[in-house]
């Protein structure tokens, strides 16, 4: 299921032109999620469109969303799917919080 979910998420993000997307495999390093996705939008409108596209594609593939934080934020929207946590961030917030630096680069899930 993770590979199928990853492909759905990846296709949605590519189609809506999300930027600098990375997938991290955290399954062996924490207990809150197995995979983290970090991506950026160019504006608050673009970030909202990314969220809406993900909602649509996840729903049509019967993948449920457990929670959403910052739904109307112009800086950071978080989608919790259980196995996946998706962070949709503005470029400024992404640079400021630098989530990528919290994790070992070897955790990048490139397959």
pLDDT per residue as tens digits for the range 8-17: 999 999 999 9
Which comes out higher in pLDDT, residue 4 or 104?
4
pLDDT confidence of residue 13 = 98
pTM for the complete prediction?
A: 0.90
pLDDT confidence of residue 30 = 75
pLDDT confidence of residue 26 = 84
3-state SS, one letter per residue, for 25-83: ECCCCCCCCCEEEEEEECCHHHHHHHHHHHHHHHHHCCCCCCEEECCCCCCEEEEECCC
Which comes out higher in pLDDT, residue 44 or 27?
44
């Amino acid at each position: 299921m993770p590979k199928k979910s990853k492909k759905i998420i990846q296709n949605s993000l590519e189609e809506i032109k999300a930027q600098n997307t990375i997938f991290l495999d955290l399954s062996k390093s924490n207990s809150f999620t197995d995979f983290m996705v970090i991506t950026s939008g160019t504006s608050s409108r673009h970030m909202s469109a990314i969220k809406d596209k993900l909602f649509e594609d996840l729903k049509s593939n019967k993948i449920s969303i457990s929670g959403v934080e910052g739904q109307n934020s112009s800086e950071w929207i978080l989608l919790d799917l259980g196995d996946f946590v998706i962070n949709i961030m503005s470029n400024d917030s992404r640079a400021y919080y630098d989530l990528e630096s919290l994790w070992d680069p070897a955790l990048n899930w490139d397959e």
